[in-house]
Amino acid sequence: MQRLQHTSTQELTKLNKIPSTVVIRSLLSNLLMSAMGLGLLYWSYQLMKARMTTVISKDAVINGVLIDLKTPSEGMIKELSVKTGHSTTSEQMLMVLKNEKVSKLEVQEIQSRLNEYKTELRREQGQLERNLSLLQRNTALLDDLTTEQNNYRRLQSQGSQESIAQVQAQLQAAQARLEFAQVNYDRINYLTQEGALAEADLEKAKLQKEETIAHISQLKARLNELNSKEKATQTDLSLNWSPSNFDPNIRLKDLELEIADQRLAIAALQQSIQDAHLELKEAQRDYTKEESTTVKSPVEGIMWNLDAQKGQYVEEGDSLGKVLDCKRRWIDVYLDEKALRSIQPNTPATIELYGDRTDTLQGRVSLVRSGIGRLAPGEEVAVPLIPNLPRQSQLRVELEPNQRNNDPQLFCYVGYTAKVTFNLD
């Protein structure tokens, strides 16, 4: 009886415990279902938000600027310091061309002309020194001759004055004789009219008077000449040659003019020599440049491809290769035309590279071009549309400055495809 009672008690206890476990399990299930529902709601919200606030590209590829390297002159490639995939800095030496056909004729012609200038300059300088020495001697001689000329001028003036006094005295005597001849002529004329003297005596008296008048005229002319010479002497003029038939003042003036001309000629030659030196340096520099030409990198970037090899002979204007400018990159993105309703220039974009998940780039839309494959711009003939041709548009996304370029062997990601997400917030 007691065993039966104990057994019943245990069974009753088990029956009482069953509802408690069931209740706990139901509560956990409800919590789990609620969490799953909330997660689905949040995921749906995020999905709807992403659909409404972002646009994802169908296709996108990174593009960049390639600069073609041209040979500035013909020659053989003697040095080559880069290979395809090598990074370059601005003004970095890439290769050296040597042209053995360049002539030194221009340099030699300038050098010959420079030697002629120098020879002529030495000749002019020597002549100038001789003329300066001669000027110095003539200046000393002029001082002595000036004293001599002063003495000569004084003596000449004294002689002129004496001659003037002598001629004046002769003129006075002649005038006195003229008066006497006139009186004698009048007396003989009277006596001849009275018959006391013959006509011959009258003619003789008349001739004497006329000779006296002529002599007076000569003396007056001589007196005027002497007065003119005296005035010339007083004003330091010379109507005759100096005693030595040489005027040092004229020679000194000639020397001074000659020296001035020589100094101008020397200055012109010195300027010509200076110009020739500059011209010679420029010609030598051009010769060196033409003989050995250095090809430098125009920008900081990566050697995209190298067409030239060491030892190769190239003509002027030949292509040596291309340099990729890593600072001028963009992304060409292709979208459905409907997506353009929400995308405008300057819209921010996030770029995820398919070939490199470790790097994410940032950029902004710079231009929008639509009608890809459906439009021939500028043509009047309409382009026939292919049925179901996708209506795509091209967007260009400029990368933000100072974007990391990664390994140069990756060519700054140019050519990589990417997923571009446009943030429409």
Domain tally, the chain: 1
Parent domain of 161: 106-270
Residue 339 lies inside a defined structural domain of this protein:
no
pLDDT band with cut points at 50, 70 and 90 for residue 33 = confident
Report, as an integer, the average pLDDT of 34-55: 64
Residue 162 lies inside a defined structural domain of this protein:
yes
Report, as an integer, the average pLDDT of 60-78: 87
Question: How many whole angstroms separate alpha carbon 37 and alpha carbon 30?
Answer: 10
Per the prediction, the chain carries an average pLDDT of 76
pLDDT digits (tens, 9 = 90+) for 207-257: 888 888 888 888 788 778 877 777 776 665 554 444 444 566 676 777 778
Please report, rounded to a whole number, the percentage of residues in the chain having pLDDT higher than 90: 3
Report, as an integer, the average pLDDT of 23-52: 67
pLDDT band with cut points at 50, 70 and 90 for residue 322 = very high
CA 397 to chain centre: 39
Q: What distance separates the 2 farthest-apart alpha carbons in the chain?
A: 243
The residues facing 68 across adjacent strands are 322
pLDDT digits (tens, 9 = 90+) for 355-391: 877 778 889 998 888 877 666 666 666 666 666 566 7
Residue 173 lies inside a defined structural domain of this protein:
yes
Please answer whether residues 276 and 112 qualify as being in contact, where contact means their C-beta atoms are separated by less than 8 angstroms: no
User: Would you state the pLDDT for residue 396?
Assistant: 92
Please answer whether residues 421 and 347 qualify as being in contact, where contact means their C-beta atoms are separated by less than 8 angstroms: no
CA-based nearest residue to 350, from 364, 338, 332: 364
Residue 334 lies inside a defined structural domain of this protein:
no
Report, as an integer, the average pLDDT of 336-350: 85
Residue 229 lies inside a defined structural domain of this protein:
yes
pLDDT digits (tens, 9 = 90+) for 189-212: 888 887 777 888 778 878 888 888
Helices 105-194 and 248-291, packing angle to 10 deg: 160
Question: How many whole angstroms separate alpha carbon 395 and alpha carbon 332?
Answer: 6
CA-based nearest residue to 107, from 272, 287, 275, 273: 287
Please report, rounded to a whole number, the percentage of residues in the chain having pLDDT higher than 70: 72
CA 391 to chain centre: 54
Residue 184 lies inside a defined structural domain of this protein:
yes
Report, as an integer, the average pLDDT of 276-283: 81
User: Would you state the pLDDT for residue 243?
Assistant: 45
For the domain that residue 121 is a member of, what is the CATH number? 1.10.287
User: Would you state the pLDDT for residue 240?
Assistant: 47
Residue 249 lies inside a defined structural domain of this protein:
yes
Residue 131 lies inside a defined structural domain of this protein:
yes
CA-based nearest residue to 72, from 311, 320, 307, 384: 320
Q: Which two tokens stand for residue 336?
A: 């459905």
Please answer whether residues 304 and 325 qualify as being in contact, where contact means their C-beta atoms are separated by less than 8 angstroms: no
CA-based nearest residue to 90, from 410, 326, 343: 326
User: Would you state the pLDDT for residue 278?
Assistant: 85
